[in-house]
Amino acid sequence: MTTKKILCIGAGYVGGPTMAVIADRCPQYQITVVDLNEKRIAAWNSDELPIYEPGLEEVVARCRNRNLFYSTDIPKGIREADIIFVSVNTPTKTFGCGAGRAADLQYLEKTARAIVEYADEGKIVVEKSTLPVRTAQAMSRILHSNPKGLKFQIISNPEFLAEGTAINDLENPDRVLIGGMETPEGQRAIEEVVAIYANWVPRERIITTNLWSSELTKLVSNALLAQRVSSVNSISALCEKTEANINEVTAAAGRDSRIGAKFLKASIGFGGSCFKKDILNLVYLCGYYGLPEVAEYWEQVVRMNDYQARRFVGNMLAAMFNTVADKKIAILGFAFKANTGDTRESPAIAVCCQLLEEHARLRIHDPKALGNARLDLEDAEGDISYCEDPYDAVKGAHAIALLTEWDSFRKLDFRRIYDLMEKPAFLFDGRNLLDHRKLYEIGFNVYPIGQKALTHF
Ligand code: NAI
């Protein structure tokens, strides 16, 4: 049996881990991951992988240079591959028609054109990137514009991994979704992609649909998840006014099996490269298809998220006598969630920028995201320093703003921290991570989300 060759175009947060797990679980396939970014590929070939993800290093170490290769030779990769996964970035458009909402598909289109240019036989092309519904139609037009008359099959196989738990999500997915054309060739292409995942994913968890359902499901899944966060956060504001406790409310509401207990945690809001961009894309699509009421409905999820970060800073100001000017504020956590160094769309960016506008002096600590935090705040004006050691960040601080739910923050010595801070010492727990009663007993004035503040005045 000849070895099947898989190519993945795009060596980012999705392409990197996804292909590593496929290589690990499918030794019979040879997998090459290519990218235009030479530095990124060099990092994938080094001991310092370009992204942090628990368990990733071990998987890469097992497969790299066995059946997993990283390269910048895109033409060779395309020529040799039987199946091409496209995992390039699809950010929100920042210019022209649809700016701020529509997906910027220029990277996807360039990839399709590269396939047309270098392929000398027909192939299966798998959309791994998150795309607007009906993108496969445009993709098909471009691919079939090839002068050689080659036939391509387009498959939609959106990725549902969450950063921070990517390896576990890939190894034990709730479901794998594979959409294709409802033609005999389309169905055969679906089966080829099913055969990859069937090496480790139980068959009943592999769902096959038509192309458009698959493309749309990814946007809908992210919209529903983000909607849950915004719903809970909206209620957290009401809890703070009424002395109801958001943890008690969500725990009790989540016991209804129709609601479910997961993803009901109040916080400063969602972040990451996907939720906001994918909802905005959904909003744009609804507008495009003449459904303004539907567009407005989903747009409110993003508005509520922005409001929650603003509300958090508003609460800080109100608690600290309406001014943070010249006060040192320790920022604990900058990544958009725990167990990743990724800071794309992190609510920490908005919170820090607002605090800087109020002339606060920021001391930022994060176990994995300081490099990215520096880049995010490169153009921000004000007094900012980055601290590898959390105890340096809190020295002389008037307040702590905890913005990421890193488990290591629970283990900090808060008595020592209290002693290092200015008094009265304020702690704003934007993730409801810490033991608030204990902190209050140490002497902190504690402000959780959606719960009564514990103060000494
Ligand atoms: P990323 O920005 O980390 O990686 C994309 C890579 O594609 C970059 O390294 C870029 O250099 C490369 N690239 C762009 N154009 C190229 C071209 N023409 N030829 C070769 N390489 C090219 O993006 P990420 O986070 O991996 O996301 C990729 C897609 O997956 C997006 O559509 C995203 O919405 C989706 N997604 C992301 C998830 C996440 O947690 N980050 C989860 C699920 C889906």
**How many domains does the chain divide into?**
2
- 237 and 162 part of one domain: no
pLDDT at 30 over 90: yes
Whether ipTM exceeds 0.95: yes
- 48 and 175 part of one domain: yes
- 23 and 169 part of one domain: yes
Tell how far the Cα of 88 is from the centroid of ligand 1, in angstroms: 4
Tokens of 262: 């997961």
- 233 and 161 part of one domain: no
- 32 and 100 part of one domain: yes
In a domain, 344, yes or no: no
- Mean residue pLDDT across the chain: 97
The predicted-structure confidence for 265-315, as pLDDT tens digits, reads as follows 999 999 999 999 999 999 999 999 999 999 999 999 999 999 999 999 999
In a domain, 428, yes or no: no
In a domain, 82, yes or no: yes
- 253 and 181 part of one domain: no
- 191 and 241 part of one domain: no
- 92 and 12 part of one domain: yes
User: Is the shortest distance between the CB of 111 and ligand 1 below 6 Å?
Assistant: yes
Comparing CA positions, the residue from 429, 454, 452, 439 lying closest to residue 245 is 452
Tell how strand 176-180 and strand 328-332 pair up. unpaired
User: Is the shortest distance between the CB of 15 and ligand 1 below 6 Å?
Assistant: yes
Residue whose entry in the numeric block shows the structure tokens 């459904």: 291
Catalytic annotation present for 352 = no
In a domain, 384, yes or no: no
- 63 and 150 part of one domain: yes
For 65-93, give one letter per residue: b (16+ CB within 10 A) or e: eebbbbbeebeebbeebbbbbbbbbbebb
State whether residue 114 is helix, strand or coil: helix
User: Is the shortest distance between the CB of 159 and ligand 1 below 6 Å?
Assistant: yes
Of all residues in the chain, what percent carry a pLDDT higher than 90? 99
- 92 and 189 part of one domain: yes
57, 68 contact by CB (below 8 A):
no
User: Is the shortest distance between the CB of 135 and ligand 1 below 6 Å?
Assistant: no
Tell how far the Cα of 115 is from the centroid of ligand 1, in angstroms: 17
Task: State the DSSP string of 443-454.
Answer: T-EEE-SSS--B
Domain containing 244 equals 219-303
The predicted-structure confidence for 2-12, as pLDDT tens digits, reads as follows 689 999 999 99
> What pLDDT sits at residue 3?
81
Tell how far the Cα of 14 is from the centroid of ligand 1, in angstroms: 6
Q: Is 247 exposed, middle or buried (0-12, 13-18, 19+ CB in 10 A)?
A: middle
Q: How far apart are CA 390 and CA 387, in angstroms?
A: 7
Q: Which of 274, 286, 352, 353 is catalytic?
A: 274
Mutate which of 88, 125, 176 to test ligand 1's pocket (most atoms within 8 Å of Cβ)?
88
Do the annotations mark residue 274 as ligand-binding? Answer: yes
Beta strands in 77-226 (DSSP E): 83-86, 124-127, 153-156, 176-180, 206-210
pLDDT at 87 over 90: yes
Tell me the one-letter amino acid at 211.
L
In a domain, 388, yes or no: no
Tell how far the Cα of 440 is from the centroid of ligand 1, in angstroms: 44
The predicted-structure confidence for 222-246, as pLDDT tens digits, reads as follows 999 999 999 999 999 999 999 999 9
Comparing CA positions, the residue from 436, 378, 1, 106 lying closest to residue 245 is 436
Tell me the one-letter amino acid at 31.
I
- Domain-terminating residue out of 153, 169, 201: 201
Q: How far apart are CA 191 and CA 296, in angstroms?
A: 38
- Domain-terminating residue out of 135, 168, 201: 201
- Domain-terminating residue out of 151, 170, 201: 201
> What pLDDT sits at residue 1?
55
| CATH number of the structural domain spanning residue 91 | 3.40.50.720
In a domain, 350, yes or no: no
The predicted-structure confidence for 127-161, as pLDDT tens digits, reads as follows 999 999 999 999 999 999 999 999 999 999 999 99
> What pLDDT sits at residue 239?
98
81, 5 contact by CB (below 8 A):
yes
User: Is the shortest distance between the CB of 14 and ligand 1 below 6 Å?
Assistant: yes
- 245 and 164 part of one domain: no
Find the radius of gyration of the CA atoms of the chain.
24
In a domain, 171, yes or no: yes
Mutate which of 52, 56, 84, 87 to test ligand 1's pocket (most atoms within 8 Å of Cβ)?
87
Do the annotations mark residue 66 as ligand-binding? Answer: no
Mutate which of 111, 270, 273 to test ligand 1's pocket (most atoms within 8 Å of Cβ)?
273
The predicted-structure confidence for 147-199, as pLDDT tens digits, reads as follows 999 999 999 999 999 999 999 999 999 999 999 999 999 999 999 999 999 99
- 190 and 238 part of one domain: no
161, 170 contact by CB (below 8 A):
yes
In a domain, 372, yes or no: no
The values of phi and psi at residue 103, to 5°, are -80, 140
Do the annotations mark residue 218 as ligand-binding? Answer: yes
